[in-house]
Structure 1
Amino acid sequence: MLLISCWLTAPLAARQELAERPGPALSFDQATEVLLQRSDSVRGDAMGLQAARDQVRAVRGLMLPSVSLDVLALRYQKTYDVSLHDLQQTGGSVADQLLGGLPGVTPGAASSAVDSVTSALQQALPGVFGALPRHVKLQFQQNLVSPNLTVVQPIYMGGAIRSTQAAAEAAAAAASAHGEAGVEQQRLLLVQAYFGQALAEQAVNVAQQDLDGYEHHLSDARKLEQQGVISHLRTMEMTVARDAAARQLLRAQGELKTSRDVLAVLLHQPGAVQLRTALFVNRLGPGSTQSFLDATEQGQPRLQEADAGVDLARQGIRMARAAFLPKLYAFGSYNMNRDHALPTQPDWVVGLGLHYTLNSPVDRRASLSVARAREGQAEARRDQLRQDLRTSVLRAYDMLDTARLEYLSLSSSQAAADENLRVHAVAFREGEDTAAELIEARNRRSQVQLQRAAAAYQYDLTLAGLLLASGQGEHFDDYLRRADRENVQ
């Protein structure tokens, strides 16, 4: 509908130019290949899937050790304040004790010499110790390059790492299923546009046949009027019918232009696509209802995406539980430039670390409750989707069978309408039938033709919907190749 509305807002000249521009001739399977190659939606889903798969690879090594190299270029200054007051007092006391003991241990003649030396030292030492400062301030600066190699090995993270990896895998599964569902949806849009153009072409053919027929009937009426067989009023009735057929042809041609450009836009084609596959109906049924229901459970992409969503929610619960548990890890660090290390830097260090959050600003119990609620929400959505898909399969199956039976019934009515028109046309030329009866016979025939084409289109569209609901959209071509296929001519 969006493509149609955008197209209707385009200038009439541009619409006619695009509609009349020649384009490629494509069968339905060829059109499918073109669509899947050029669809922006399919390309976007493919990029999303690639991102999800890359994320799986990104978190695959979370249990492996983390090795890092830190290189620091530093310039630092260090200042030391050393008090010498105690050293002065201690040094003076020790010197006094030593000098006081010298005369007593010096023999005879040397005693007077020692006494003189001792006397000189006693006079000099107080000045020496007094000259020492009461404190010393040491200050130095240094440029330093400090490379450190650090290794951290997770041992136990409370299950957070495994949950993160499982969540990434669930997200990748969801992205894959979403991409498949997108492809299925594109197939349905293609059936709608491709066979919608085929239906519009059938409408133009019927309208053209009607106009040609009414031109022929009007010519017969004028001849009969000239011969006096019918009145001028009957000729005017046929003229009015001819003009109505001409207007109907114009409307049908306008709808055909719109449908052609809708398909051209969908397939990114510069001009109108020439169809090589006609509207069709399979005379036999598509199979049992249960087979489609079973296929829905086994391979419906939207249901698979919902299952992945439930798995993702469950990993959220495990992540929330991991916040309550301690984390254990091993670590090691090696200084690669010991000669210029800071005084406080070790040469190397190894150890075990235990981290446990005693109080968190985030309410961990509430977070766990949120995760559980999201799991319940995901499960409820999956169950509702399963129910909706089963309903869609059953409804589409019944509509498909109805369209098939209606088409088969109209096929027999077509032959009767053709014969009825032929009889009334002959009778009118012979003056035995009225213009109104002939007009009614032709309108009835046209109505049967259009109803028959519409039933075939409804069959094709409903078949695509049934296959979409059951996750078998890629099997649409199988019905095109079946031996019981009947094309609408």
Structure 2
Amino acid sequence: MTSSRPLHPSLLLLPALLMLGGPAFAQAQAQPRGDSALALSFDAARARMVDRSDKLAAARAAVDAKELQSQGLKGLGGPTVAVSGLAYAYNANLNLDLDPLNQKLGQIGSALPSSIQSLVSRVPIPQLPNSYTLNRHDSGANASISAVWPIYLGGATDAVRGFVSAQTREAEADAEQAGHEVDTLLVQRYFGAQLAQRAAVLRAQAERTIAQHDSAAQKMLAAGVISRVERLQASAAYEEARRNARKAENDAALAGVALARTLRADGTVVPQTPLFLISTPVEPLGYFIDSALTRHPGLGKVGAKKSQAEQLHEGEEALRRPQVIAFGTREIKSGNADWVAGVGVRWTLYDSVDRDALSASSLKQVEQAERTGAQARSDIALLVERNWRALENARRQYLEMKASVELAQEVVKLRTSGLREGTSTTLDLIDAETNQAKVLTERAQAANDYVQALAQLLESAGLSEKFSDYIARADVKVN
């Protein structure tokens, strides 16, 4: 006997709902790939980034510059040999004033005895010209070779070389830190693009589903089986789903652009490595703290700063000590050439500069570097612990959300069955599916939080290059 109970009008939606479980979702997951799309695993993306990153190139250039400077100063304090030569010509004029001499000649007679003056007066005394110009000109050439050898400079040259070597170590620490930062940035953008794309897929799926519900609600209103309020509620739910879908789409596009710019790709980059999670805890906190205190580039930089301060202090002390220099020079010519050679000693006994104050200042800089190093070790240990706890929190949150996902899926099934039985409304199903998309997105966000926390933990521990090893260990893949 056939039941005479009329079917609930919402059963008109049932075929569409059944279709959404399969092909529609598969189509939503498919990502459009144009001719310029570049599919990359995380390892391939990292290799590309290392090769093309301006930040890493700048850091490497800084290291190369300091290494070349250190190489150039290896021979500092050794002998210096120089050859000098000159060619010259000159013309010199000397003007002589002869008026005073003429006057003296005129007075010669007055200085003689009177008996002789009459005789001298009869003799004419010649007059010299008022002035006379002497001219001298010549040309020539000269060449010589000289050598200077600082025998002892009080350790100043060693201090200079040590200072430049410490600057090289500082540049190496900066380059290592830049590498860790770039690795972390890649993780943020690579898996951030994965998350944004997943959120866009889920929001687009919810929009299509709710659009079909909205269309069915319009037919129900025309048939007079639902009220206008219910119809408006369905429209409002669709508008909200549409806005959320457009926002998620824009977020995914922006995340994709950021990833492409990071990798210097001309087109779209399609990440192939999914979000992942290791369901069991990673190494204990002590492992990462010990690694950080031995490998973190920040501590290497502080150590280099301390070494620079120590070398500056040695340089200040070297100025207090005597300096001994050997020297020599010889004309380059055949025959009896001029030459000179010797040893010079210089020791400053008094200087207007207060050397004691400068020495105390450089020692304070050493102390500053030591204190900074102690503070850095404490801060790095705290940073490692914070990142380790964030990683554990994200892991637990993802695993605990499994029940929420299963519950949301079960509610959708019950609301779908309720439509069949007439115990649920369209709005009930819309709410259930909207909540399911929300829970799935939140769980994907928890997986991304885990990945980002892992990258931060490895960076703080000086282990960023180990990130791919943790991908290989992952037993949960969020596809």
TM-score range, shorter chain: 0.7 to 0.9
Matched with 2:477 is 487
Whichever residue aligns with residue 72 of structure 2, its letter is: A
Matched with 1:269 is 265
**3-state SS, counterpart of residue 283 of structure 1:** coil
1:241 is displaced (CA, Å) by: 1.1
Which among 403, 410, 415 is matched to residue 401 of structure 2?
410
Q: Provide the C-alpha distance between the structure 2 equivalents of 1:205 and 1:446, rounded to a whole number of angstroms.
A: 10
Matched-pair contact (CA < 8 Å) for 2:199–2:441 = yes
2:459 matches 1:432:
no
**3-state SS, counterpart of residue 481 of structure 1:** helix
What are the equivalent positions in structure 2 for 1:50-199 lying under 5 Å apart?
Answer: 50-75=64-89, 141-199=137-195
Q: Provide the C-alpha distance between the structure 2 equivalents of 1:299 and 1:61, rounded to a whole number of angstroms.
A: 32
Question: Any stretches of 5+ residues in structure 1 without a counterpart?
Answer: 1-18, 81-136
**3-state SS, counterpart of residue 37 of structure 2:** strand
Matched with 1:451 is 442
Q: Provide the C-alpha distance between the structure 2 equivalents of 1:362 and 1:268, rounded to a whole number of angstroms.
A: 55
Matched with 1:210 is 206
Matched with 2:373 is 382
Matched-pair contact (CA < 8 Å) for 1:479–1:485 = no
Matched with 1:46 is 60
- Deviation string, structure 1 residues 198-234 (Cα, Å, up to 9, x no partner): 1110110110121122134335545666776544433
Q: 1:305 to 1:218 in 2, by over 3 A?
A: same
Matched-pair contact (CA < 8 Å) for 2:289–2:381 = yes
Matched with 2:451 is 460
Matched with 1:24 is 38
1:411 is displaced (CA, Å) by: 2.5
Q: Provide the C-alpha distance between the structure 1 equivalents of 2:134 and 2:56, rounded to a whole number of angstroms.
A: 73
**3-state SS, counterpart of residue 147 of structure 1:** strand
**3-state SS, counterpart of residue 487 of structure 1:** strand
Matched-pair contact (CA < 8 Å) for 1:225–1:231 = yes
1:180 is displaced (CA, Å) by: 0.7
Matched with 2:310 is 314
What are the equivalent positions in structure 2 for 1:389-400 lying under 5 Å apart?
Answer: 389-400=380-391
Matched with 1:328 is 324
Q: 1:141 to 1:226 in 2, by over 3 A?
A: closer
Q: Provide the C-alpha distance between the structure 2 equivalents of 1:223 and 1:430, rounded to a whole number of angstroms.
A: 19
Matched-pair contact (CA < 8 Å) for 1:198–1:275 = yes
1:349 is displaced (CA, Å) by: 1.9
Whichever residue aligns with residue 64 of structure 1, its letter is: G
Q: Provide the C-alpha distance between the structure 2 equivalents of 1:141 and 1:39, rounded to a whole number of angstroms.
A: 68
Q: Provide the C-alpha distance between the structure 1 equivalents of 2:298 and 2:355, rounded to a whole number of angstroms.
A: 33
Whichever residue aligns with residue 153 of structure 1, its letter is: W
Matched-pair contact (CA < 8 Å) for 1:184–1:473 = yes
**3-state SS, counterpart of residue 158 of structure 1:** coil
Matched-pair contact (CA < 8 Å) for 2:285–2:388 = yes
**3-state SS, counterpart of residue 61 of structure 1:** coil
Larger radius of gyration: 1
Question: Any stretches of 5+ residues in structure 2 without a counterpart?
Answer: 1-32, 95-132
1:367 is displaced (CA, Å) by: 2.2
Whichever residue aligns with residue 419 of structure 2, its letter is: F
2:230 matches 1:240:
no
Matched with 1:112 is none
Q: 1:60 to 1:159 in 2, by over 3 A?
A: same
Q: Provide the C-alpha distance between the structure 2 equivalents of 1:139 and 1:227, rounded to a whole number of angstroms.
A: 129
Matched with 1:372 is 363
1:71 is displaced (CA, Å) by: 1.2
| Normalised TM-score (structure 1) | 0.78
Q: Provide the C-alpha distance between the structure 1 equivalents of 2:199 and 2:466, rounded to a whole number of angstroms.
A: 28
User: 383-392 or 212-221: which moved more?
Assistant: 212-221
User: 447-456 or 357-366: which moved more?
Assistant: 357-366
What are the equivalent positions in structure 2 for 1:297-312 lying under 5 Å apart?
Answer: 297-312=293-308
User: 201-210 or 143-152: which moved more?
Assistant: 143-152
Matched-pair contact (CA < 8 Å) for 1:293–1:390 = yes
Whichever residue aligns with residue 253 of structure 1, its letter is: E
RMSD of Structure 2 on Structure 1 (CA): 2.5
Matched-pair contact (CA < 8 Å) for 2:279–2:395 = yes
Which among 178, 200, 213 is matched to residue 196 of structure 2?
200
Matched-pair contact (CA < 8 Å) for 1:338–1:347 = no
1:178 is displaced (CA, Å) by: 0.6
State how many pairs are aligned: 409
Whichever residue aligns with residue 213 of structure 1, its letter is: T
